[in-house]
Structure 1
Amino acid sequence: MKDLFGKAILDYQLGNYTEDIKTETSISEEDDLPLPYLFRSFKDMPKLERKALTLAKGKVLDIGCGAGSHALYLQDTKELEVTAVDISPNAIRACELRGVKDARNLDVMTLDSTEKYDTILLLMNGAGMCGKLEKLGAFLEKLKSILAPGGQILLDSSDIIYMFDDDEDGGVWIPADKSYYGEVDYIVKYKGETEPAFDWMYVDFTTLKKAANYCGLSCTCIMEGEHYDYLAKLTL
């Protein structure tokens, strides 16, 4: 991986902002992702994110922290102990420069299960990092292993069924090359470079709830957004 997402974040933090990230998926055309959006303050965040941050408590793990905006709000405004993790070394460097006290460059699947957290955050469709539905169970089991008694997992995602065409029988036409309609190939472009396509996933609430229940987790929809998105809470 070229870590273009992280390079863009670090460029912005260092004052080298000249252009935005471009993203594209196997079911959507190229679109701009403005870098300033990744550095947004609490008041500029979507309602689902603000609700999740309001619910956060205790020792927090922010998975896929990106530029660290969620972690900084919880650390500085709510004065919570926050660990921010991301697979992007450049993003973690930016988090450190912004003042995140505990920022780690790692894959959450490698996190020591002796560490326990009261709140695990997966915002901006963080559960999508599973890539494929077949990996969701193992991912949830890992999160369950690092969840403290009485703890919570807060994640948002979207049901992207609306992006597919209806067929003549009243159903929906789904490409045959994917085992689940929420699976997409995701491409990032930045400053003339293109990241190799990687697996990403949007999971509808019903599917998430079934996977969570299978793993021994309770799953509740806390809030629905304005465009097929939702915030869910998972507990032991």
Structure 2
Amino acid sequence: MKDLFGKAILDYQTHNNPENIITSTSISEEDEMEVGYLFRSFGEMPTIEQKALQLTKGRTLDVGCGAGSHSLYLQNERNIDVHSIDISRNAIEACSLRGLRNVQAIDVLDLDNEKYDTILLLMNGTGVFETLDKTTRYLQKLKSLLNPNGQILIDSSDIIYMFDEDEDGGKWIPSDTYYGELTFNLRYKNEIEAPFPWLYMDYNTLQNAALANGLECQLLLEGDHFDYLAQLSI
């Protein structure tokens, strides 16, 4: 991958003429995202993200930290020991430049010999799982990284609303795959990233997956647009 998302983050941090990120998915047209949105303060974050950060406790792992805004709040405002990881080396460089002390460019599946009290997966945290059939692998890995009485705080959305309805109110959804499995396309400064999988999970599907992997699942908060925050624990 060209790491264009991370390049946009690093361009914004270093004032290197950042431009909007152009995204589209297998079920939606192109949309523009301002890179500055990723650098928002706590007060500018959605309620679900604020709630997750307020519930964070102990040694914390921020998975897919992006520009590091969640981690910075935890480190600077709550004095929490936070380990921020992302597969994007450009994003991790930007996080370091922003003052995060414990950052690492690594896939969470490759993280070993670590234990945490809180694991954060925010901004559609289930996207990291890629597809529904990979969810067990990720949940087992996250479970192995938890301390006793630890918690996983994760958000996602039920995107059923994006599919057309028939006259009886039923939804036209794919029959061969889970409807939350999307392919993402990304363009930045006229460069095109290779398409990549991204998973949105409705709460019931997440709950069933959690229970199947020996994790308790609790719905903590529902947002205004089919989004939610959940807590997983052993």
* TM-score, normalised via structure 1 length: 0.97
> Is the 2:18–2:35 Cα contact (8 Å) retained in structure 1?
no
- Please tell me the residue identity of whatever aligns with 2:132: L
Q: Establish whether residue 229 from structure 1 lines up as the match of residue 227 from structure 2.
A: yes
- Please tell me the residue identity of whatever aligns with 1:223: L
In structure 2, the partner of 1:49 is 49
SS of match in other structure, 2:24: strand
Q: Distance in 1 between matches of 2:27 and 2:51?
A: 29
Runs of 4+ in 1 over 4 A off after TM superposition: none
In structure 1, the partner of 2:5 is 5
- Please tell me the residue identity of whatever aligns with 2:59: K
What does 1:205-216 align with in structure 2 at a 5 Å threshold?
205-216=203-214
What does 1:158-169 align with in structure 2 at a 5 Å threshold?
158-169=157-168
Q: Which moved more, 1:129-138 or 1:59-68?
A: 129-138
Shift of 1:174: 1.1
In structure 1, the partner of 2:103 is 103
Q: Establish whether residue 185 from structure 1 lines up as the match of residue 183 from structure 2.
A: yes
Shift of 1:179: 1.2
What does 1:34-45 align with in structure 2 at a 5 Å threshold?
34-45=34-45
In structure 2, the partner of 1:63 is 63
In structure 2, the partner of 1:116 is 115
Q: Distance in 2 between matches of 1:96 and 1:228?
A: 33
Q: Distance in 1 between matches of 2:17 and 2:38?
A: 13
> Is the 2:8–2:18 Cα contact (8 Å) retained in structure 1?
no
**Any unmatched runs of 5+ in structure 2?**
none
SS of match in other structure, 2:22: strand
> Is the 2:25–2:185 Cα contact (8 Å) retained in structure 1?
yes
Q: Distance in 1 between matches of 2:169 and 2:79?
A: 51
- Please tell me the residue identity of whatever aligns with 1:184: L
Q: Distance in 2 between matches of 1:87 and 1:68?
A: 13
Q: Distance in 2 between matches of 1:107 and 1:21?
A: 23
Q: How many residues align?
A: 234
**Any unmatched runs of 5+ in structure 1?**
none
1:2-34 superposed Cα distances (whole Å, 9 cap, x missing partner): 000000000000011341111110111111111
Shift of 1:171: 2.2
Shift of 1:221: 0.6
Q: Distance in 2 between matches of 1:209 and 1:89?
A: 32
Shift of 1:170: 3.8
SS of match in other structure, 2:218: strand
Q: Which of 199, 202, 222 lines up with 2:200 in the alignment?
A: 202
- Counting aligned pairs with the same residue, the percent is 59
Shift of 1:169: 4.8
Q: Establish whether residue 140 from structure 1 lines up as the match of residue 139 from structure 2.
A: yes
Q: Distance in 2 between matches of 1:42 and 1:17?
A: 25
Q: Establish whether residue 173 from structure 1 lines up as the match of residue 172 from structure 2.
A: yes
Q: Distance in 1 between matches of 2:151 and 2:198?
A: 23
SS of match in other structure, 1:12: helix
Q: Could you say what the CA RMSD is over the residues aligned between the two structures, in angstroms?
A: 0.9
1:31-64 superposed Cα distances (whole Å, 9 cap, x missing partner): 1111110000000000000000000000000000
Shift of 1:168: 4.4
- Please tell me the residue identity of whatever aligns with 1:131: E
